[in-house]
Structure 1
């Protein structure tokens, strides 16, 4: 209650250049004595409120009168600093904006909290093992977010996952939720033309146009939104997002592939035990490494470079395992293994 009244008092002081004590007491519905206590509380928080004495004494906020109020505690200030400095870089052009936002927030804070915020200066480094997400347009995120809130049908073109960028189709959909998974942006929507729930990758959406038509809220097809997005077959990156891209036929059920495949992968169920998976990586060897983690047999369908990388990797593993064995087994056994390197 006190915090709410303090926030309202600060808002009044910023909305009007000068207030009498009686005027503030009347607006807040409290006594002039309570107003004086609340004024002192603002000063303790670092907001410089000046007062003039006398029968018509008044209060004014010396600094930041045109800025909106921002009252946060130390933990919230730390959360703001960390969140802005470690935000995912999947939205284009946000790097400079986040720095400016952090500076603006510092200007809004009382001095002791601004100093606290300045102690958190973080530099993010690239990690070669992180599968970098394709960037999306912040304007597209804003338009789709508004459509979700307004329950407005949207019409857009959607690019196929294949390399041919001309392979697009028109979609009329009900946007229900925006989801971010490992830096990739998805829209969970109901496709009115296909009469089915789908996820759409925002980096593959183009030429979006609001329709002005409203839709009624539907129940999502799965109570677990994460599980639903993961289970979608075309969740992965487009091939041109990675220098190396391949397709394999894997002896693994699609449900397991959906659960454990990297975010960049897309897949289709061939039958109950076979799944075709398409995936990209920064090198052919890295791509083989991801596939081997499934610990099941797979057949490389394309391209030839991926098949050759598989042969090279398996050859190196044979040699390294045999060399390790030679250090721990008798010479006779080692010579037999050298003659038959089948594992």
Structure 2
């Protein structure tokens, strides 16, 4: 209880330049004497809280020459350590920065928590089966995030991955939210020229520029942000992102393809029953393997290498179904 109140007091002092003791007491629901004790507790932790006496007296959080210890509990310290060490490497140049951030945070923690943090040393091992996402520039993330927060229009060139929508063009977009799905970064925004909502892949944005225009908040067309991003037909990777890339026509409704296809895949609905899927992988056999997981019939439309791989895999699979044993007949293992 005392720790929670101390954190709330610190938050109030950071949010407003000056507070009288009576105002802090009212906000915290305690007496002015308790406020004085809590202020002293913050000073013991290293937070430079200054105070003036008299009727017009106030408390102020001064700028210190060094950062005081962070106030976090054991579970929060562990969460920080694990989050920094296991964060997906989808942003360029963040590997060294994450290590330095962990070291800096460790120095700000009280000694016992710093020691606890050091016990959580995690080494990530690359998994060949993971579909490596393209990395994005942290400067691009920062610029788009600031534009979304400030509701400032942005202009950029965008290249679609879908063969049907291939090509690049300039768009003027209202940036609303940044989303990470399947290791890929998206900007959910409203295209003012096309008067439509899109999820733009950040790795396909170029020539980003801010404008001097603002925009008003709009309601998203779908309250489920995950479903909205998944249902974007050109959400997947471009053909040159993978050594093997092909197209199939699958007997599966588009809404199911959208839900279960990995983030590398693009698709388009042919009708209520058929969906055309464009997808890449590190080998033709791997690409066939991903498509087989749908357990739906499909026809390879191209390239010939994908069709050849499908035929080779079909020949290799020779399943022998044992004859059903009659009741009372001993098994073959006896």
What TM-score comes out, normalization by structure 1 length?
Answer: 0.78
Counterpart in the other structure of 2:182 = 182
Counterpart in the other structure of 2:192 = 192
Kindly name which structure, 1 or 2, has the bigger radius of gyration based on alpha carbons: 1
What SS is found at the alignment partner of 1:159? strand
State the aligned residue count.
295
What SS is found at the alignment partner of 1:212? strand
Counterpart in the other structure of 1:91 = 91
Could you tell me how far 1:37 is from its partner in structure 2? 7.1
CA deviation vs aligned residue, 1:287-315 (integer Å, no higher than 9, x gap)? 00111111222111111110011001111
Is 1:111 the equivalent of 2:117?
no
Tell me, in whole angstroms, the C-alpha distance in 1 between the residues paired with 2:34 and 2:258: 64
Is 1:77 the equivalent of 2:102?
no
Tell me, in whole angstroms, the C-alpha distance in 2 between the residues paired with 1:80 and 1:278: 38
Counterpart in the other structure of 1:141 = 141
Structure 2 vs 1, CA of residues 69 and 187 (structure 1 numbering), >3 Å: closer, same or farther? same
Counterpart in the other structure of 2:28 = none
Structure 2 vs 1, CA of residues 283 and 26 (structure 1 numbering), >3 Å: closer, same or farther? same
Is 1:306 the equivalent of 2:306?
yes
Counterpart in the other structure of 2:267 = 267
Counterpart in the other structure of 2:224 = 224
Q: Retained in 2: the 8 A contact 1:153–1:172?
A: yes
Q: Retained in 2: the 8 A contact 1:11–1:68?
A: no
What SS is found at the alignment partner of 2:232? coil
Tell me, in whole angstroms, the C-alpha distance in 2 between the residues paired with 1:134 and 1:34: 51
What SS is found at the alignment partner of 2:107? helix
Tell me, in whole angstroms, the C-alpha distance in 2 between the residues paired with 1:181 and 1:283: 23
Could you tell me how far 1:6 is from its partner in structure 2? 3.8
Q: Retained in 2: the 8 A contact 1:10–1:69?
A: no
Could you tell me how far 1:160 is from its partner in structure 2? 2.5
Q: Retained in 2: the 8 A contact 1:264–1:279?
A: yes
Q: Retained in 2: the 8 A contact 1:182–1:263?
A: yes
Q: Retained in 1: the 8 A contact 2:244–2:282?
A: yes
Tell me, in whole angstroms, the C-alpha distance in 2 between the residues paired with 1:106 and 1:179: 29
Could you tell me how far 1:3 is from its partner in structure 2? 3.9
Counterpart in the other structure of 1:52 = none
Is 1:315 the equivalent of 2:315?
yes
Structure 2 vs 1, CA of residues 272 and 118 (structure 1 numbering), >3 Å: closer, same or farther? same
Counterpart in the other structure of 1:341 = none
What SS is found at the alignment partner of 1:198? strand
Cα RMSD for the two superposed structures? 2.9
Q: Retained in 1: the 8 A contact 2:46–2:69?
A: no
Is 1:246 the equivalent of 2:239?
no
Tell me, in whole angstroms, the C-alpha distance in 2 between the residues paired with 1:250 and 1:117: 50
Between stretches 2-11 and 96-105, larger displacement belongs to 2-11
What SS is found at the alignment partner of 1:258? helix
Tell me, in whole angstroms, the C-alpha distance in 2 between the residues paired with 1:251 and 1:33: 70
Could you tell me how far 1:41 is from its partner in structure 2? 7.7
Counterpart in the other structure of 1:237 = 237
Counterpart in the other structure of 2:168 = 168
What TM-score comes out, normalization by structure 2 length?
Answer: 0.80
The within-5 A match list for 1:290-301 is 290-301=290-301
Q: Retained in 1: the 8 A contact 2:182–2:262?
A: no
What SS is found at the alignment partner of 2:83? helix
CA deviation vs aligned residue, 1:236-280 (integer Å, no higher than 9, x gap)? 011222111111111211111111111110001112211110001
The within-5 A match list for 1:195-210 is 195-210=195-210
What SS is found at the alignment partner of 1:294? coil
Q: Retained in 1: the 8 A contact 2:154–2:211?
A: yes
Tell me, in whole angstroms, the C-alpha distance in 2 between the residues paired with 1:85 and 1:97: 11
CA deviation vs aligned residue, 1:53-97 (integer Å, no higher than 9, x gap)? xxxxxxxxxxx8511552101111011001000111111110000
The within-5 A match list for 1:29-40 is 35=36, 39=40
